Amino acid sequence: MLNEMLEFVTTQQKLLFDRAHPLRLESGAALGHVTVSYETYGELNADGTNVILICHALTANAHASGYNSEEDKTPGWWDGLIGSGKAFDTDDYFVVCPNILGSCYGTTGPTSINPTTGQPYRLSFPAITVRDIVTVQKRLLDELGVNRLATVCGSSLGGMQALEWGIMFPDFCETTIPISTAARQPSWCLALNSAARTAIKNDPEWREGNYLAQPAKGLALARMIGMISYRSPEEFEQRFGQQKVDPSGNVFVVDNVFQVESYLQYQGQKLVTRFDANTYLCLTHAMDSHDISRGRGSVKKALGSIRARALCVGISSDVRYPVAHQTRLAQDIPNGEYIEVSSIHGHDAFLIEFDQLNSIIANFLRKDNS
Amino acid sequence: MLNEMLEFVTTQQKLLFDRAHPLRLESGAALGHVTVSYETYGELNADGTNVILICHALTANAHASGYNSEEDKTPGWWDGLIGSGKAFDTDDYFVVCPNILGSCYGTTGPTSINPTTGQPYRLSFPAITVRDIVTVQKRLLDELGVNRLATVCGSSLGGMQALEWGIMFPDFCETTIPISTAARQPSWCLALNSAARTAIKNDPEWREGNYLAQPAKGLALARMIGMISYRSPEEFEQRFGQQKVDPSGNVFVVDNVFQVESYLQYQGQKLVTRFDANTYLCLTHAMDSHDISRGRGSVKKALGSIRARALCVGISSDVRYPVAHQTRLAQDIPNGEYIEVSSIHGHDAFLIEFDQLNSIIANFLRKDNS
């Protein structure tokens, strides 16, 4: 029933940088060929100002809303928020979701062919930062005829982009909506990412990045480690507790695994079928280098330079980017406000709590129009 | 200077169960030969009642206080609390610390020789539970002439034992001091242990438990995953932040690792030199099966059966066994009280905050004597 209401949408691609006009990265390196994969929903107005930019998190892609083909009616990852009558209302706005630089869903990244060698970049793909991701997004918007953003919104790594947008292009953004994120990558998140990368690199199939088939066990374990912090202890307790997969079986038999183990293993295996291991390394490094104060004096100074009205959204049970990070952002952004989503689902609540998010975001954007 | 004050102590061993009198495990299986390694500090009184039992956590051993040899003056893991004039005062008490069943420090476990086959048990070591660990400890105390415990104390897996002691032998314990633990293994901790076990099993050197050399990469990663939850996000932020190992080097170079990554890798490698991988699997399974309500109706009922006065100690920044678990224990134990250690060090604070713990525990035990 829900799927019947989905809009058909084609994922598009654009070549944004080439050898003559390479992308200059924050590190100083250059990328001579950058293609971006993206989707758009709604219509751009005449002066190019009714635009919402959606920034995705670590393993997502450009497919944020609708469905891509008659065969695959999988709704986009933020279909609950994007569409007619929803928070990101396609009746009024032109919504753009690009796959980020360094990803493996059609935008240039470690799986792309290096035009100089004719081989995939793999580990030779240069280190990128959140600022590089935003630079590429800005070029895409320029090409699409966008003159101003009504808002830019994302959670987690997406929220890091929303912050950088406000700092790098202060006059381009009317508002920004960073969700469950931080001014700089917290050391504890860095530790979790580090363990996840070690899981991938420990897999002999990884072969220093030159794998033929995916290092499946390592990538699955990386995802398991991630999932533990994407959800909350309270949710695990409610959903799984200490239940065994076979509750009537012998509880002392180790092979009768716990439901939570089985859940994590399933999540791990699912990621292996849809995400690339070197890309996981590349994008977690981009997250770990996230620091809005780099070259800008201090976090306070960087946040103080944001002119956009900002809605900083926290999730009550987020252990990865706790609400304290969000309230601090709201305090230090001149026109910032904080609002909390009450949820048991932890960091991942941004993919689940659509009722609350729709109401919070729609209300915030209405204020902007009034 | 501190080492000069250490007392010399010999780790001893006792054969407690043999083929004629095997250990009957909670699962129904039998172990025909069980040796326990233990240390004692102080003197047992004539009626065998001035006894303190120390229960260690996952990777510790019987060496809780003093030093073992002139060559190795490493102080025991709880030397800060055990000794003359300390909380566990050896001037008054006879303190016993046994290496737990299933461990690899002299007590029978997966590295021990199965007398039936002449080969190490490895994965064929039967599944054990916290109750089995306590059963073996009780037998040791019987052999030592102990008639009553003044207190039983432990943190984490050690705290699980302290709880089970209060339930299994209600008239044997004057008091119990469970620290940073839970009535049943929380699902989130189970998830972390599950990821750690997967790290070991993913290592091709593991060979289904039949390794010649340790599965070093897997065991080190298991420890990394553990360490992330043994310490607190606040501590990581203060100690490491986003600092690189070479702060003056290029921050964009991935090989210039973060200090927190280097710290976790070091901790991982350190465990590999002193702990066995199959033992890690065995003892985390024992933790994961911990549930004081099993066969006893409910958690409330089990806690309600404790007759010992109980001091339930929480650590303010513990993410693994948060203080809410400890306050609930104190509420449901008839003679239970709760006290909190204020610390940034997370779950591991029980190995660090000796000033607070000495004062809290000494005060509690004094009340008992008055």
A273/A42 Cα distance (integer angstroms) = 31
Determine the average pLDDT of the residues in B256-285: 97
Contacting residues of A for B26, CB less than 8 Å apart: 252
Residue B368 has pLDDT above 60, yes or no: no
Complete DSSP assignment for A212-273: SS--HHHHHHHHHHHHHHHS-HHHHHHHTTT-BSSTTS-TT-TTS-BHHHHHHHHHHHHHHT
- Taking contacts as CB-CB distances below 8 angstroms, the residues of chain B near A160 are none
Question: Closest partner residue to A185 among B194, B242, B264, by Cβ?
Answer: B242
Q: Is A242 within 8 Å of B288 when comparing Cβ atoms? A: yes
Which of B132, B252, B259 would you mutate first to test chain A, the one with the most A CBs within 10 A? B252
Q: Which residue of A has its CA nearest to B242?
A: A187
Task: Tell me the C-alpha distance between B270 and B222, whole Å.
Answer: 12
Q: Is A317 helix (H, G, I), strand (E, B) or coil?
A: coil
Q: Note if A347 is an active site residue.
A: yes
Give residue B268's identity as a one-letter amino acid code.
G
Mean pLDDT calculated for residue range B276-291: 98
Where is average pLDDT lowest: A246-255, B340-349, B353-362? A246-255
Question: Which class for A295: exposed (0-12), middle (13-18), buried (19 or more C-beta within 10 A)?
Answer: exposed
> What confidence category does residue A369 fall into, taking pLDDT thresholds of 50, 70 and 90?
low
Q: What is the interface size between A and B, counted as CB pairs within 8 Å?
A: 144
pLDDT of residue B248: 87
Whether residues A252 and B127 touch (CB distance < 8 A) is answered with: yes
pLDDT at A4 over 70: no
The CATH architecture to which B190-283 belongs is Orthogonal Bundle (1.10)
Q: What is the ipTM of this complex?
A: 0.96
End-to-end CA distance of chain A: 35
Give B-chain residues touching A252 at CB under 8 angstroms.
26-28, 127, 129, 289
- pLDDT of B5 above 80: no
Chain A contact probe: residue of B160, B194, B283 with most A CBs at under 10 A: B194
**Is residue A315 scored above 90 in pLDDT?**
yes
Q: Give pLDDT tens digits for B195-206.
A: 999 999 999 999
Q: Which of B:100-129 have CB within 8 Å of A?
A: 127, 129
Residue of chain B minimizing CA distance to A293:
B242
pLDDT over 50 (residue A82): yes
Parallel, antiparallel, or unpaired: how do β-strands B12-17 and A336-341 relate? unpaired
pLDDT in tens, A96-151: 999 999 999 999 999 999 999 999 999 999 999 999 999 999 999 999 999 999 99
B 50-109: CB under 8 A from A: none
Sign, Cα dihedral of A347, A350, A351, A352: positive
Q: How many angstroms away from the CA of B16 is the closest CA of chain A?
A: 23
Interface of B with A in 235-294 (CB under 8 A): 236-237, 239-242, 250-254, 257-258, 260-261, 264-265, 285, 288-289, 291, 294
Q: Name residues 195-214 of chain A within 8 A of B (Cβ).
A: 195, 198-199, 202-204
Residues A314, A340 contacting (CB under 8 angstroms): yes
Is A132 designated active site? Answer: no
Q: Please state which of the ranges A60-69, A244-253, A345-354 shows the lowest mean pLDDT.
A: A244-253
Spans of all domains in chain A = 3-185+292-369, 190-284
Residue A63 predicted with pLDDT over 90: yes
For B242, the closest of A28, A251, A291 (CB atoms) is A291
Please tell me the number of Cα atoms within 13 Å of A118 on its side-chain side.
0
The tokens for B42 are 């102080």
State the average pLDDT over residues A184-208: 98
B187 is known as an active-site residue = no
Cβ-contact A205, A214 below 8 angstroms: yes
Closest-CA residue of chain A to B260: A191
B-proximal residues of A, 301-360, CB under 8 Å: 319, 322
Mean pLDDT, chain A, rounded, equals 96
Instruction: Answer yes or no: is pLDDT of A1 > 80.
Output: no
Cα A121 from Cα A103, distance rounded (Å): 12
Query: Catalytic residue among A65, A156, A180, A229, which?
Result: A156
Q: Does domain A190-284 have CATH number 1.10.3720.10?
A: no
Averaged pLDDT, B41-45: 98
User: Tens of pLDDT along A12-37?
Assistant: 999 999 999 999 999 999 999 999 99
Whether the CB-CB separation of B170 and B307 falls below 8 Å is answered with: yes
Enumerate residues 124 to 183 of chain B having a beta carbon within 8 A of any beta carbon in chain A: 127, 129
Using the Cβ of A24 and the Cβ atoms of chain B, whether some distance falls under 8 Å is answered with no
- The beta-carbon contacts of B249-254 under 8 Å, at least 24 apart in sequence, are B250/A27, B251/A289, B251/A294, B252/A26, B252/A27, B252/A28, B252/A127, B252/A129, B252/A289, B253/A127, B254/A127, B254/A285
Q: How confident is the model at residue B1 (pLDDT cuts 50, 70, 90)?
A: very low
A253 to B26: CB separation less than 8 angstroms, yes or no: no
* Banded model confidence at residue A5, pLDDT cuts 50, 70, 90: confident
Q: Give which of B363, B350, B304, B366 is closest to B330, Cα–Cα.
A: B304
pLDDT confidence of residue A6: 87
Question: A368 pLDDT exceeds 80?
Answer: no
Helix axes B130-144, B277-288, angle to 10 degrees: 100
Chain B partners within 8 Å of A233 (Cβ) = 186-188, 322
- What superfamily would CATH give domain A3-185+292-369? Alpha/Beta hydrolase fold, catalytic domain (3.40.50.1820)
- Secondary structure letter of residue B351 according to DSSP: G
Query: Among B160, B198, B171, which residue's Cα sits nearest to residue B292?
Result: B160
The reported pLDDT for the residue numbered B247 is: 87
- What's the CA gap between A333 and B268, in Å, rounded? 40
With beta carbons under 8 A apart, name residues in chain B contacting A102.
none
Q: Say if A224 is an interface residue toward chain B (CB within 8 Å).
A: yes
Q: How far is A35 from chain B (nearest CA, A)?
A: 23
- CA separation for the pair B292, B45 (Å, rounded): 32
- For chain B, say whether A217 makes contact (Cβ under 8 Å): yes
Confidence of residue A248 (pLDDT cuts 50, 70, 90): confident
